[in-house]
Chain A
Amino acid sequence: MKHAYLLVFFLLVLTAPSGAQDFDYGKITGSDFELKNTILDSNANAMVIREFGTSIMQLDDATHNLCIYFRYHVKLKIFNKNGFGSGNIVIPRSVYRDGEDEVSELIATTTNLVNGRPVKYELDKKNVFNEKKNKYYAVTKFTMPNLTEGSILEYSYSLKQPSIFNFRGWDFQSDIPKLYSEYVANIPALYNYNASLRGFKKLTSSKSEIKRECLRIQGGPYDCSQMTYIMKDIPAFIEEDYMTAASNFRSAIYYELSDYHMVNGGKKAVTKTWKDVDYELLSDKSFGDQMKKKDVFKDLLAGILKDASDSLSKAQAIYTYIAKNIKVTNEWGIFGESNIKKALETHSGSVKDINLALIACLSAAGLDAEALILSTRNNGTVNNLYPVLSDFNYVVAKLNIGDRSYLLDASQPRLPFGLLPLHCINGNGRAIPFKKPSYWYNIKASQKDFTMYALDAEITPEGKIKGKLTTTSSGYAALMKRERISQANSVDEFVEKLDEQMPAISILKHHIANVDSIEEALVEEYEIEMKAFDNMNLDQLFFNPFFIDRISKNPFNLNERTYPVDLGSLKEVRIISVIRLPDNFTVADKPKDFTMVLTDNGGKYQFKSAQEEKTLSYNQLFQLSKPIYGPDEYLGLKEFYSRIIQLQKTDVVIKKQSR
């Protein structure tokens, strides 16, 4: 894919950044020392007092490449020793094929109040360490000297970034609160970036000014637009369970290059419209070209399709073939190099290789397949307003048969046809057809996370519960079990482990069906035995009927929630139980039938029981019917689980009958 850093061939000359209002370095006042954490968050161990950043594009004198220069300056206060972590600084740097981000002009100072007077300790350059993490990523690390409770830390540095594709973004929110955060972006009018602001917190102020003649290119003057963003009193960002990427919620600004003017007066779009993106992706050597490589499968197709007649069974055969024949490496992404022919030959490829091969093969069989690019759950949601290609990090296949669509990811061989892995269920994806314009497509899990337990058992005169438990699972529930079975070298070892983990229950016999038939539900049959009563010679016995898939912990046990609860898929559990009592016993008391629903059809729980002669039957239904619950629904979920836990604490009372 063509990246914007190709632009470095243009000769630009830029004047120094102007008008950016940095605060003075080294000016520590009495009021800094007097600051208490009660000003913003009495829980804070450290707090940013003021933070300033500015970015500008400039020409690197040495290489004549166009770079982004970023300056960062911060002053923060350590309230107590638990905040010392804020004195360990890591500056991440990108590494490119022909260079890397460079840090310079790094200064750092700790100021402590010693006997009522400020004393400064400067960072020694030899205590700054550079470390290349891997091919793509390096860091510069240092730690502030002489930290003590009440220290004021200040540091500043410049960072030269040789790629201008992503203009420097800015995180307003971090793990400590901030009193004042300001970012000034100077963007030459030759370039347009799409900016997106994320997070719940609003900007305190923002302004945009034209800086006249802020740069000269080959003698000609050009203007800059200078954008200033200010946010005050920013709370610390705290992650919660069951949420997708933190980046979806953290207050920050992101940029991506949209278009630029050439010095000769023309204009060139980089990612302006989806029409351009479609063209670019479809003509890309490592994307569209690979999707179109039908000929790779020319000789294979007859073999793959030999038992398939209609479109759906053809598609299934192809999906199975690709999933079996190309093993996934752990590379994701939509930009990397791709070669489906090589992937097929070496039996190894990235997610992209595998799914582009799938699309090519489906097309070769005359089916209507297109690429669907998306962003995984931990990568954040995509910008739906304009194309921000760097938001996307995953590609799957979208197959259309009649008016039905199937989303396919052949890189996960244990997924049934049409179900995407949970990490792909993340809002909108963009479908890229061969010939038509691209369009948004809302990605949903095509199957519920479903488990059904059927117990048919008896209470023996010795006080044991003995019987047969049949468990049927599909969707993500089946996927999870199949993964566990595969981790256990064999089905017998899986059952042995299962048995060992439940000392109270013995598994006498087992049979697991459809372990490898992933299109079918996974069916486990166990003959089980467990001790229920120590002493059967009592007149009255209590037993808890909720021993299967019991909910003993409330996953939503907190008092408040800031962000949505994102479960990704719908969930359903059914438990059907039949228990025969010993001859001389009858039911004296049992939990009452009970149904509850969550608001807005969000979920349902039902318990029903019946006694017929010597047989007690009771059924439970548990449904969570939405993939995402808003923060206002959190307490409802908490109550939902709590009521189930309460019910499951209650017993069935059986009584000896007098003869």
Chain B
Amino acid sequence: MLKKLVLLTLLMPAINAFSQAQTDYNAENIPPELKSRASAVIRNMETTVDMHSPENVTLTVKKVVTILNKNGSNRAALALYYNKSTAIKSIKGVILNAFGMPERKFSQSDFADESAVSDYSLFEDDRLKRYTPNVSGYPYTVVYEYEIRFKQNLIIPDWYANPYADVAVEKSSYTFICKPEDQVRIKAHNFKGTPEETSSEKVLSRTWRVSNISAFKYEPYAPNPDSYLTYVKVAATQFSYYGHKGNYKNWEELGKWIYDDLLKTQQTLAPATAEEIKNLVKDIESEKDKVRKIYEYVQKKTRYISVQVGIGGFQPFPAMDVQRLSYGDCKALVNYTQSLLKAAGIASDYCVVNAGSLRVGMDPDFASMDQGNHIILCVPLKTDTIWLECTSQDTPFGYLGTFTDGRTVLACTESGGKLLRTPALNTAVNLLERKAVLTLDADGNITGKLQTDLRGSQYDNYNGLVHEPYTEQLKLLKKEYDIDNIDFNNFKLVQKKDDQPVTTETLELNIPNYAPKTNNRVYLIPNVFNKAAIIPEVKNRKLPVYINRGYTDVDEVVYNLPQKYAIEAKPDNKIIVSAFGSYSFNVKQEGDKLICNRRLILNNGTYPPEKYAELMRFFSDVSSYDNSKIILKTN
């Protein structure tokens, strides 16, 4: 994964003028409407970014935040990241009591110094300083002031007006200062009005101000926060980064710089390696099969290790090193695969992507360096475009999975950057088909067999289990099928890795006492294996309803019943059709067989906020049918 250049946007505390009358910060003075749903209120925050030169950008933050209750204590904490190109120049602060009177001061020496390297990573150079005020009793107010110096301007600190749902904002501002002749691009999102500008011969200053933003409630099925939050982002045309200089105004130029300055020099292979690759594919006819062969070679040879070295974590280490060590991070492995393909005469593109289950693409209107966190490889062939995830030894050829599907990525090519779109795994493709044939005996025990085919995004459903030893798989399977008393035999997971990859599970199962009996009635919940969860109600829904990725589940359970069992009561056959998808459920008896069919289709999409209640009812109905019971009478 690309190094996360941890910016201070989300952890951006600090002070308003200490000199001003501190009685202003009496917690009593907070407007009541800002207290609603809030655990903290930003009384005033001033964020100033001053781009003195490409090698010298300062961030000064003054922040006054009142903590209303225990949940807000996290919002009183300050964590500042630093590394080779980021230095913390000063930190100071003071804690005020409920009346806004100073209680005690703190300074840099009160901060704990920690490594900010993620546990899975072999090397990153980030560290952080952390401070959490300890104050007994609420409310209290923390006033911070700090300054950070960046020795680069490729990534300029951005500003989110109200990044936390539970924090209300009385006043907050962002000021960006540069020289009048500096070329910068600015994106102000969800900002009403225009920034204030002041200029002189030497400096041009722009300020965005917001006031009185209420806290809001966390809502499920919410879209990407960037779509509804207010933010300002700045990108400089002329930039400097770890000694590298360049300029860009759009994705094309940024992609060009990445290719020229970060990639081009890293793709040399030893002649022997190039020869080996040529030999590897020399008898293969189709381009696609050549790519497949080389991809399999990479998968067999390498493994993923996070090592964030090289130009602030943006440059892959050389292809020759990967050849020698057989490991690398996403950049290195993509660069290596690209180099091998080149040796076989096949062109491919190094693509920057924002990876994660939530589909977030590169912003087409605003090119900047910090929008991606991962690299994948695009191989455009004459008839087909193949996408490769190079960090996994198991991913099927040409399959991206939910980590990078369906979004805009930046291809960094010799002729410049291009925005491309990865193929999307959508509702119809993300198919689960399960069939179980079971026998119910007179004591209520169930035995039988089950098979499930998983396609599209659901191909990865067993990711957490597939690499585990068999005994551990059986334990994890009990979490997948969390049914009282269930036990498995002959569990097999087969992954077919062709153009339409399928994961197939087969197993034998038994569930003693699944269908309990009282007097001559037997209670059977026929839908055993697939139950949708209810989603919470949300009164006064504010945000649009966003379903990130749809799917289709088709389940059939067939029971062989003991003789002389008859249905006394059963749920009605049900079909629900809604904007979000559809659901059908039915149970029928055919001789001594009982057949239960269930089909759930959920469509991805964005829907207006008022539709949420309908989605909630949809799941609520689905859940009640999923759990519905049949009552059988024995004679």
Residues of A that sit less than 8 Å from B by CB = 43-45, 81-82, 84, 88, 124, 127, 129, 131-135, 141-143, 145-148, 238, 324-327, 329, 346-348, 486-487, 489, 493, 496-497, 499-501, 503-504, 540, 542, 544, 553-554, 557-559, 589-592, 638, 641-642, 645-647, 649-651, 653
- Asked if B518 and A591 sit within 8 Å, CB to CB, the answer is yes
Asked whether B373 is an interface residue with its Cβ less than 8 Å from the other chain, the reply is no
Report A-chain residues with C-beta under 8 Å of the C-beta of B515.
649
- Name the one of A143, A500, A553, A589 contacting B122, with C-beta atoms under 8 angstroms: A143
> A127: nearest residue on chain B (CB-CB)?
B325
11 contacts across the A-B interface (CB closer than 8 A)? A124-B325, A133-B114, A145-B324, A348-B135, A501-B537, A504-B624, A540-B569, A542-B629, A554-B484, A558-B478, A653-B521
- Name the one of A489, A501, A651 contacting B523, with C-beta atoms under 8 angstroms: A651
Report A-chain residues with C-beta under 8 Å of the C-beta of B624.
504
Given contacts A145-B326, A504-B624, A649 and B69 within 8 Å (CB-CB) = no
Cα distance A559–B468 in the bound complex, in angstroms: 18
Cα distance A638–B393 in the bound complex, in angstroms: 39
Asked whether B39 is an interface residue with its Cβ less than 8 Å from the other chain, the reply is yes
Given contacts A493-B37, A504-B624, A542-B631, A135 and B485 within 8 Å (CB-CB) = no
Report B-chain residues with C-beta under 8 Å of the C-beta of A142.
122
> B469: nearest residue on chain A (CB-CB)?
A43
- Asked if B484 and A81 sit within 8 Å, CB to CB, the answer is no
Asked whether B123 is an interface residue with its Cβ less than 8 Å from the other chain, the reply is yes
Min CB distance A441 to B, Å, is: 30
- Asked if A143 and B137 sit within 8 Å, CB to CB, the answer is no
Report A-chain residues with C-beta under 8 Å of the C-beta of B303.
81, 84, 147
Report A-chain residues with C-beta under 8 Å of the C-beta of B305.
88, 143
Asked whether B534 is an interface residue with its Cβ less than 8 Å from the other chain, the reply is yes
Query: What is the 8 Å Cβ interface bit string for chain B, positions 385-429, against chain A (1 contact, 0 not)?
Result: 000000001000000000000000000000000000000000000
> A44: nearest residue on chain B (CB-CB)?
B469
Report B-chain residues with C-beta under 8 Å of the C-beta of A145.
324-327
Asked whether B495 is an interface residue with its Cβ less than 8 Å from the other chain, the reply is no
Given contacts A325-B136, A489-B69, A651-B631, A557 and B482 within 8 Å (CB-CB) = yes
Q: 20 additional contacts, CB 8 Å, given A142-B122, A554-B485, A651-B629?
A: A44-B469, A81-B467, A88-B305, A134-B114, A141-B123, A143-B122, A145-B324, A329-B134, A347-B134, A487-B70, A496-B539, A500-B538, A504-B534, A542-B569, A554-B484, A559-B487, A589-B519, A592-B518, A642-B513, A653-B521
Asked whether B356 is an interface residue with its Cβ less than 8 Å from the other chain, the reply is no
Report A-chain residues with C-beta under 8 Å of the C-beta of B136.
324-327, 347-348
Given contacts A131-B117, A503-B620, A642 and B122 within 8 Å (CB-CB) = no
- Name the one of B70, B325, B487, B516 contacting A649, with C-beta atoms under 8 angstroms: B516
Report A-chain residues with C-beta under 8 Å of the C-beta of B516.
646-647, 649-650
- Asked if A486 and B114 sit within 8 Å, CB to CB, the answer is no
Report B-chain residues with C-beta under 8 Å of the C-beta of A131.
115, 117, 123
Min CB distance A553 to B, Å, is: 5
Residue from the set B70, B71, B518 with the largest chain A CB neighbour count within 10 Å: B518
Given contacts A43-B469, A146-B325, A642-B513, A327 and B39 within 8 Å (CB-CB) = no
- Asked if B122 and A132 sit within 8 Å, CB to CB, the answer is no
Report A-chain residues with C-beta under 8 Å of the C-beta of B494.
none
Report B-chain residues with C-beta under 8 Å of the C-beta of A82.
467-469
- Name the one of B71, B135, B301 contacting A487, with C-beta atoms under 8 angstroms: B71
Report B-chain residues with C-beta under 8 Å of the C-beta of A641.
484
- Name the one of A146, A557, A642 contacting B478, with C-beta atoms under 8 angstroms: A557
Report A-chain residues with C-beta under 8 Å of the C-beta of B134.
327, 329, 346-348
Min CB distance B96 to A, Å, is: 14
Asked whether B433 is an interface residue with its Cβ less than 8 Å from the other chain, the reply is no
Given contacts A134-B114, A148-B326, A489-B37, A503 and B616 within 8 Å (CB-CB) = yes
Min CB distance A594 to B, Å, is: 10
Cα distance A131–B487 in the bound complex, in angstroms: 45
By size class, the interface of chain B is 35 or more
For the A-B complex, the count of residue pairs with Cβ-Cβ distances under 8 Å equals: 149
- Asked if B537 and A642 sit within 8 Å, CB to CB, the answer is no
Cα distance A543–B71 in the bound complex, in angstroms: 41
Query: Which residues 518-541 of B have a CB within 8 angstroms of A?
Result: 518-519, 521, 523, 525, 534-539
Report A-chain residues with C-beta under 8 Å of the C-beta of B629.
542, 544, 649, 651
Query: What is the 8 Å Cβ interface bit string for chain B, positions 464-478, against chain A (1 contact, 0 not)?
Result: 000111111001001
- Asked if A557 and B537 sit within 8 Å, CB to CB, the answer is no
Asked whether B311 is an interface residue with its Cβ less than 8 Å from the other chain, the reply is no
Given contacts A347-B135, A347-B136, A646-B516, A486 and B113 within 8 Å (CB-CB) = no
Asked whether B486 is an interface residue with its Cβ less than 8 Å from the other chain, the reply is yes
Min CB distance B191 to A, Å, is: 28
Asked whether B202 is an interface residue with its Cβ less than 8 Å from the other chain, the reply is no
Report A-chain residues with C-beta under 8 Å of the C-beta of B123.
129, 131, 141
Asked whether B576 is an interface residue with its Cβ less than 8 Å from the other chain, the reply is no
> A327: nearest residue on chain B (CB-CB)?
B136
Asked whether B104 is an interface residue with its Cβ less than 8 Å from the other chain, the reply is yes
Cα distance A540–B515 in the bound complex, in angstroms: 21
Asked whether B112 is an interface residue with its Cβ less than 8 Å from the other chain, the reply is yes
Closest 3 pairs (CB-CB, A-B): A43-B469, A348-B134, A347-B136
> A557: nearest residue on chain B (CB-CB)?
B478
Query: Which residues 445-477 of B have a CB within 8 angstroms of A?
Result: 467-472, 475
Min CB distance A182 to B, Å, is: 26
Min CB distance A444 to B, Å, is: 29
Cα distance A43–B230 in the bound complex, in angstroms: 52
Residue from the set B114, B325, B484, B487 with the largest chain A CB neighbour count within 10 Å: B484
Cα distance A612–B39 in the bound complex, in angstroms: 51
Cα distance A651–B218 in the bound complex, in angstroms: 37
Given contacts A500-B539, A642-B485, A589 and B518 within 8 Å (CB-CB) = yes
> B73: nearest residue on chain A (CB-CB)?
A327
Query: What is the 8 Å Cβ interface bit string for chain B, positions 291-319, against chain A (1 contact, 0 not)?
Result: 00000000011010100000000000000
Residue from the set B327, B393, B475 with the largest chain A CB neighbour count within 10 Å: B327
Min CB distance A106 to B, Å, is: 15
> A590: nearest residue on chain B (CB-CB)?
B518
- Asked if A129 and B104 sit within 8 Å, CB to CB, the answer is no
Cα distance A492–B487 in the bound complex, in angstroms: 44
Given contacts A88-B305, A134-B114, A129 and B122 within 8 Å (CB-CB) = yes
Report A-chain residues with C-beta under 8 Å of the C-beta of B68.
489
Cα distance A591–B523 in the bound complex, in angstroms: 11
Given contacts A44-B469, A493-B37, A500-B539, A558 and B135 within 8 Å (CB-CB) = no
Min CB distance A637 to B, Å, is: 12
